Amino acid sequence: MEEKFVQFSPEQFLEEAVGIIKKAQEAGLCLRILGALAVYLHSEHCPEYREYFFSLGRLGEGKPIFTDLDVMGYSRQSQQMRKFFDRGLGFTPDLYVNSWNATTRNIFHHKQGLYDVDIFYDKLNFSHPVEFGTAPGRGRLELDFPTITLTDIVLEKLQIHHINKKDLIDLMILFCGHELAEQDEKEKINLGYIAKTLKGDWGFWFDSKTNLEKVLSIADEFSQSGKVKTEDLDLLKKQIGKVQQRLETEPKTPAWVKRSRLGTKRSWYNDVEEVAR
């Protein structure tokens, strides 16, 4: 399958995406940006780390850094959301995906083919579930704007069992550019929430621990080749060390303890199949 990229500069794409989120808000819809673009937006205050999007070749040397626009909404508003993108914004619906996944996932294509919009509802359900709630006023989407929280972005990346270079770079940028906290605070990663989310799910916990080690490993490789500054690597080690310690010391639930006894003898993650676009 031919690889697709967003046909905008990063700043143009960010402006376009934020504009959509604001229009959705005006229409009474709760919609938030996910993924790499959310990381990019939250790195505006630390351009030295944002630069790693480009210098490390996130999607390959010389390639753009974004493939599409990923957003999260609530299933209670899925019908209105489809009308908003189709009739309101003039996007072309992916009839196959949208008919099969009406209240879990929708895809819309820009009318000029400049990018696709991938809308998820209530949760990201890939290797491990990341929950956001089901209705406005009772979920996590209202905790930040125009993206999901930094904390949820971290969980979005940590849940990936077969994690790749681009997601490891995203995590590296997130941990270098943001402080850790024990509660929800603006522009901080809520380590308390992450630990509490993982304390009942051994599989999610195990893949998170593994992925944190992979972040350190790839950052070390980048450092040895001169692509990552020594001081940035030292900061990353300090930050991830705190996360690792917190995940170890958080009291685990009986379900976590029971599942831990099986370890990797039985599959601990969901197999993920890409939706054809």
**pLDDT in the model for residue 3:** 67
**pLDDT in the model for residue 64:** 81
What residue ranges in the chain does DSSP mark as E strands?
A: 31-33, 69-73, 92-93, 105-109, 116-121, 123-125, 129-131, 179-181, 188-190
d(CA 22, CA 145): 9
d(CA 178, CA 83): 37
pLDDT (tens digit per residue) in 52-103: 999 998 887 778 889 899 999 999 999 999 999 999 999 999 998 998 888 8
What 247-254 contacts at long range (C-beta under 8 Å, 24+ apart), as own/partner pairs, is: 247/194, 247/195, 247/198, 247/205, 247/208, 247/209, 250/195, 250/196, 250/198, 250/199, 251/199, 252/199, 252/200, 252/202, 253/199, 253/200
Q: Burial, 205: exposed, middle or buried (Cβ in 10 Å; 0-12, 13-18, 19+)?
A: buried
**pLDDT in the model for residue 146:** 98
CB of 83 closer than 8 Å to CB of 48: no
**What is the value of pTM for the model shown?**
0.95
**pLDDT in the model for residue 274:** 44
Task: Find the angle CA(170)-CA(173)-CA(179) to the nearest 5 degrees.
Answer: 125
**pLDDT in the model for residue 87:** 93
d(CA 76, CA 73): 9
pLDDT (tens digit per residue) in 162-177: 999 999 999 999 999 9
Taking Cα atoms as reference points, which of 246, 254, 168 lies closest to residue 214? 168
Strand pairing partners for 117?
69, 108
Low-confidence ranges of the chain (pLDDT < 50): 1, 274-277
Q: Burial, 65: exposed, middle or buried (Cβ in 10 Å; 0-12, 13-18, 19+)?
A: buried
